[in-house]
């Protein structure tokens, strides 16, 4: 746990990446698994992660991301996108997976499946999309922690125009909406931000014990 806290102090939102350094494929595999194993509401994972490798696409993505250089300089770029209007089909797919993974019948889970469908489909389309968008932040948290453990730098971004990103990556046709962009790689020695002291609220101000 001491190493975990040390690595959390080490990490920061990298402002300038070293474009000459690439993340090893075995480390990317670990990071993808960290995302896959992330918690989500009901375990439904109502999102997709798009890995953008094409240089021309990344250059266009930079334009849609307020010109942030990390988009083109980082080793890897991930776009988190929530599923729009997630409903019964997604829930059915989840329980099919549960049935196959745990070797239990779908019939034995009918009660819980019905509860889940009733709860989620009762939400308005807007509330359901807000709910699914929030799930991407849980996945991002797992990625951030895993990257810090591997001493891989990362910059989470909300600074982009979702409509442009959706159009650029063809997400509209997939029923997806971009919620987060994350760039991964290794900090450039010229990035002065890495030397700044981390600023956080003191423990006694942040926590309330009742």
What CATH number corresponds to the domain at position 150?
Answer: 3.40.109.10
In a domain, 91, yes or no: no
Q: What is the mean pLDDT of residues 158-164?
A: 98
3-state secondary structure 140-161: HHHHHHHHHHCCCEEEEECCCC
Given a cut of 70, whether residue 1 has pLDDT beyond it is no
111, part of any domain: no
Residue 101 inside a domain? The answer is no
- Is residue 87 within 8 Å of 118, Cβ to Cβ? no
> Would residue 116 count as lying in a domain?
no
117 assigned to some structural domain: no
Average pLDDT across the chain, whole number: 97
**pLDDT, tens digit (0-9, with 9 covering 90-100), for 13-64:** 999 999 999 999 999 999 999 999 999 999 999 999 999 999 999 999 999 9
Residue 121, domain member (yes or no): no
Task: Specify if 198 maps to a domain.
Answer: yes
pLDDT in tens, 67-94: 999 999 999 999 999 999 999 999 999 9
The answer as to whether 19 is a domain residue is yes
Q: What percent of the chain has pLDDT over 90?
A: 99
- Work out how many domains the chain is built from and give that number: 1
Structural domain harbouring 31:
2-37+45-85+129-206
Mean pLDDT over 118-128 rounds to 97
């Amino acid at each position: 746990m001491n190493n975990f806290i040390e690595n959390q102090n080490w990490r920061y939102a990298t402002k300038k990446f070293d474009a000459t350094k690439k993340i090893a494929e075995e480390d990317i595999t670990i990071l993808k698994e960290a995302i896959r194993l992330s918690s989500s509401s009901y375990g439904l994972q109502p999102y997709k992660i798009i890995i953008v490798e094409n240089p021309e696409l990344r250059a266009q993505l930079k334009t849609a991301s307020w010109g942030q250089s990390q988009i083109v300089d980082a080793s890897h770029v991930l776009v988190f996108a929530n599923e729009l209007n997630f409903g019964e089909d997604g829930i059915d797919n989840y329980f099919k997976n549960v049935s196959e993974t745990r070797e239990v019948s779908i019939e034995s889970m009918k009660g819980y499946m019905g509860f889940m469908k009733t709860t989620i489909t009762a939400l308005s389309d807007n509330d359901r999309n807000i709910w699914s968008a929030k799930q991407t932040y849980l996945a991002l948290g797992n990625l951030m922690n895993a990257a810090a453990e591997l001493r891989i730098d990362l910059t989470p971004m909300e600074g982009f125009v979702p409509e442009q990103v959706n159009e650029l990556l063809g997400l509209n046709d997939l029923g997806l909406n971009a919620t987060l962009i994350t760039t991964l790689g290794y900090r450039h020695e010229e990035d002065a931000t890495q030397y700044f002291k981390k600023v956080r609220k003191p423990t006694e101000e942040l926590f309330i014990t009742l």
